[in-house]
């Protein structure tokens, strides 16, 4: 059976899940940018990809509207990002 998401996509899902549990709300794109140390366009494209794969949903024009569509048991453990690996 093919994987639903790549390792990198899994790390984004893990961050969204962990952030939501810790802070009681989904992360903003800026939170993802700081954690993964990458550019805003890279974060935006990843979120579009996750939405296209039906792994997350978002409400256009609404901040912090990311909702996971993945069972938390499918989400990998969050790893510390390697600088320069985006």
Domains of the chain: 7-74 (1.10.10.10)
Backbone angles phi, psi at 56, to 5 degrees: -140, 165
* pLDDT tens for each residue of 53-84: 999 999 988 999 999 999 999 999 999 877 65
Q: Which residue has the tokens 């320069």?
A: 84
Q: Which of 78, 64, 76 is CA-nearest to residue 29?
A: 64
* pLDDT tens for each residue of 2-15: 578 999 999 999 99
24: left (phi over 0), alpha (psi -120 to 50) or beta: left
* pLDDT tens for each residue of 18-61: 999 999 999 999 999 999 999 999 999 999 999 999 999 999 88
């Amino acid at each position: 059976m093919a994987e639903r998401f790549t390792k990198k996509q899994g790390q984004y899902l893990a961050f969204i899940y962990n952030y939501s549990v810790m802070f009681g709300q989904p992360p903003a794109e800026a939170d993802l940018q700081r954690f993964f140390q990458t550019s805003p366009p890279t974060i935006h494209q990843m979120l579009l990809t996750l939405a296209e794969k039906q792994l997350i949903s978002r409400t256009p024009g609404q901040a912090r509207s990311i909702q996971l569509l993945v069972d938390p048991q499918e989400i990998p453990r969050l790893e510390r990002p390697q600088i320069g690996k985006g």
